[in-house]
Structure 1
């Protein structure tokens, strides 16, 4: 099998990988469980036959591929139709660059499905349309994609790490194509704004699955796209999120401080969710360095910004990535207090955040549970903290945020507790890449 030989060879190689290496099933076992013929499955794995959508959906569920195989099959089918001329009327206008970006998305999805590294140059192909627009190339106009981004924001908050990247990358490729055809300045600015937000989401997702190199590329593009729009709030928003995820991913402290300070400088005192984010990240960074006085100053700045928010920032119609609710403010207090060993304050803030956090934001609930565990471990009840952390790590996939909090907790354990069975179990739950968790 040569995955580069044809789209169906690529799909076949993925099918074999998930059956043989991930699930450890032979052909007959897999075919019986997926309600298909083992001879047909063999042909599909060798790229000799095309398979139906219902079959790929059953195999995707059987192998636990979380939609990767189904998405790859859909992309292969669309590409095959494109090559055979069986395309929608408006697809005939796509040029060679469009096809290159489509292939880039398929390569990224295939690499994610196989747990492999993103092929070199793939991100360049995917980001090319936005890059050219930033440089001044024009094209045709397009409608606003704000509602799509809003839905992606909620999906990011309510789904496990790495599971919404596929749709985000596909939408980014489409926006990139539209940007190349846009000649109107207003439409181009609107699309660049959408591109910046989608790139932020890709940066978060790539960080959560452990691909920090791809995450950095997405963050850089998000900054450039935001700057190209001239939208102050967007520029602050991108830098605030990059600073926060840079902190969780372990980027150098001076880089995190620069991003947060840049966001504060660009905001120029205008209160916003993004400015609150920047002050929060400064508090996190200073608390991690043990600077209690400067941490308190950053938290005071955060409170002042929060109190000055316009009503729209706290609206139910605002996406989670653009809002800063009361539960988020409580979270912003709980974590630095936990790092500084201020047990009572940390517990009070954590309890408040847990009570206010939306029930569908499972990942945030897991983060708060780990802050509580960190507080216990650094306070009076190490064993309780370890058990809380183990239960959380077992119940929810390990993300960039949760990996760092668990690492900080383990690093600060006394020697006796560090050698305990509970500590070894917690460490084993976070071994390997984030996507393995």
Structure 2
């Protein structure tokens, strides 16, 4: 059998679709389909990767070697472009599509930028700096995005994130099956998760959903179990503000927790806070209180590098737990005194340079708690002041969702109050949705 025929047989036997297999590689599904039908030849790295993913026990690698010998690849006859013109053309077409996508988003991409990047690549090779040495730089870039996506409106973050994802994707594709491939997948997962969060904040849940899936697959491929849990936890938290079914998300949280690493980690800690919030959404105060205590225990076991008081997506400090405490009080109920004390603790726990969104979210939760406790006038007045003070481009999905939940908590009989009606008009004006 040929390489393509064997690949099709293995795909059928393993009951995996071409698109799913392409995601795991990762590569373009159309390119993989052409390989399976003998239209195109795979690279050596891709053949090895497919062999591993399909448990082919070397069968695909052997067929690749045989085919390469027959075409002159093993002996080095002819240039790469002469031997594989279709693959060269396909790569160039993909490169042009990616660049055009970046131009559409407003990211810095032009012939001059491309030329400078090629020159820099040549300088790096001349001084012995290969792509592997760039990993530390990219991990630092990921850390910087952890701060900036909380500070900047989505339309300023998305183009830069997209440009960096294109660069990392192209680098990672050259390391498939190599020693550093898992590390590049980890970078890809973090950047994809940040893109998903940013799109969610921009009110684009459909686009965000695909990026969440990409982030989860990349985390799985990287072998970083805690990163995989963290991506799922962040996705569940975002889903609450998008008003996805709490019962469905709670089942997913429990299933993820059952497979999570035993050692405390950033992802597992965040998953416990997500469970607390989901239980509170369902009105289960006792279970929410138990989950909150577990989150507090995890906080004490995490290293200082994670729990530092820092306004970053990747930090898990006291402010995260205190925010969850306010959430539980706001949804489950209890005395107003306990709610207000929780709000004060949460505001005090925020980093000094915390962006305005988190304090706004805490105050909106406070307002919702006031309304549910029966103080509609004060709760709505409080929410109106908070939401009106937010700049239009800072009214993220999270902020707007909490603002709407204040209105939803108002009993039908109270909707005609002048203050409530005015608040409804403010909400109707809505946030500004822009990606570029």
* TM bracket (short chain): 0.5 to 0.7
C-alpha distance 347-243 of structure 1, shift in aligned 2 (>3 A): same
| Change in 2 beyond 3 A, CA 1:370/1:319 | closer
Report the Cα distance in structure 2 between the residues aligned to 1:210 and 1:180, rounded to whole angstroms: 31
Look up the SS of the partner of 1:246 in the other structure.
Answer: helix
Equivalent in the alignment of 1:309: 302
Pair 1:348–1:161, CA change in 2 (3 A)? farther
2:92 to 90, 95, 109: 95
Indicate yes or no: 2:204 matched with 1:211: yes
Q: Please state if 1:360 is matched with 2:354.
A: yes
Equivalent residue for 2:180, pick from 187, 196, 209: 187
Could you tell me how far 1:363 is from its partner in structure 2? 1.0
How far does residue 290 in structure 1 lie from its aligned partner after superposition?
1.2
Structure 1 stretch 391-400 or stretch 202-211: which is displaced more? 391-400
Pair member with larger Rg? 2
| Equivalent position to 2:150, from 126, 144, 157 | 157
Q: In 1, distance between residues paired with 2:229 and 2:346?
A: 25
1:65-104 matches, within 5 Å, as 95-104=92-101
Look up the match of 1:239: 232
* Secondary structure of the corresponding residue to residue 156 of structure 2: coil
1:430 counterpart SS class: helix
Shift of 1:225: 0.5
Alignment of 1:326-337 (within 5 A): 326-337=318-329
Match of 2:259 in 1: 266
Aligned partner (choices 136, 143, 150) of residue 134 of structure 2? 143
Tell me which residue corresponds to 2:5: none
RMSD: 2.5
> Is the CA contact (8 Å cut-off) linking 2:150 and 2:311 kept in structure 1?
no
Q: Are the equivalent residues in 2 in contact too, given 1:101–1:173 (CA < 8 A)? A: yes
Structure 2: which 5+ runs fail to align?
A: 1-90, 108-129
Task: Give 1:182 shift.
Answer: 2.1
**Which of residues 103, 106, 122 in structure 2 aligns to 1:106?**
103
1:248 partnered with 2:241? yes
The number of aligned residues is 316
Q: TM-score, normalised by structure 2?
A: 0.67
CA distance in 1, matches of 2:254, 2:99: 37
d(CA) in 1 for partners of 2:340 and 2:94?
54
Aligned-partner SS, 1:215 = helix
Equivalence for 2:166:
173
Higher relative contact order (CA 8 A, sep 6+): 2
1:295 Cα offset (Å): 1.4
The verdict on how the C-alpha distance between 1:259 and 1:99 changes in structure 2, with shifts beyond 3 A counting, is farther
Deviation, 1:384, is 1.8
Tell me the TM-score normalised to structure 1 length: 0.67
Measured after TM superposition, the shift of residue 146 of structure 1 is 0.8
Q: Kindly indicate whether the alpha-carbon contact (under 8 Å) linking 2:311 and 2:354 is maintained by their aligned counterparts in 1.
A: no
Match of 2:333 among 336, 341, 344: 341
Unaligned runs of 5+ in 1: 1-93, 111-138
Deviation at 1:337, TM superposition (A): 0.9
More displaced 10-residue stretch of structure 1: 251-260 or 150-159: 251-260
Shift of 1:269: 2.8
Equivalent in the alignment of 1:398: 395
Cα distance change of structure 1 residues 414 and 232 upon mapping to structure 2, 3 Å threshold: same
